[in-house]
Amino acid sequence: MTLNYKNPEVLFRGKRVNVLSVEAPHPKGGLIKREVVDHPGAVVILPLLDPKTVILIRNDRYVVQQTLWELPAGTLEAGEDPALCAQRELQEETGYQAEKITPLLRFFSTPGFCNEILYVFLAEKLAYVGQNLDETEHIQIEPTPLSKALQMIHEGIIHDAKTISSLLYFNTFF
């Protein structure tokens, strides 16, 4: 997705994100400065081992200094097709490849300050081929009954927004 900001100034250039200062229209006229986290986008994968079992992961997240229950996910490379990224990230993080990948939805993660868009895919007909983690990742695979994953959301055990929204969407509409 291409966004056209007025007078963007790069405040910080990072490995995965940039921080920009941009001019935005003020509701009462004129312009105001806003900081924007410029993100390339990401994918979220809801892998089903069978109709009642989802693969969750336990992912060490340094930023919040916790190990979180999550669905597999990953950042898009420049110009990468989201469906191909979903296949790549599924195999890297869980060790599974999917014969069938279906787009479910897309949403902005935090549109108040970040332009990250998340593309959610359903992965089915899985075959295990082995994890291929980045050297900085520590991820445990946790096959979980879908009903238990939903209960974990209800009980406040799952804290990750992309996982919560993707599982609730899937449970509601599929």
How do the domains of the chain map onto residue ranges? Answer: 6-38, 42-107+118-173
pLDDT of amino acid 5: 87
Catalytic-labelled residue, pool 135, 137, 142, 155? 135
What pLDDT score does 1 carry?
A: 62
Please give the helix or strand (H or E) that residue 89 lies within, else none.
helix 82-94
Strands 96-108 and 117-128 come out as antiparallel
135 is catalytic: yes
Report which residue type is found at 103: P
pLDDT at 74: 96
> What pLDDT is stored for residue 3 in this prediction?
74
What is 42-107+118-173's CATH topology? Answer: Nucleoside Triphosphate Pyrophosphohydrolase (3.90.79)
CB atoms within 10 A of CB 52: 10
DSSP E strands, 65-116: 66-70, 73-75, 96-108
Cα–Cα distance list, 14 to 10, 17, 74, 101, 108 (Å):
10, 5, 17, 31, 20
Q: pLDDT per residue over 101-146, tens digit each?
A: 999 999 999 999 999 999 999 999 999 999 988 888 889 999 999 9
Q: How far apart are CA 87 and CA 123, in angstroms?
A: 8
**Residues with pLDDT less than 50, the chain:** none
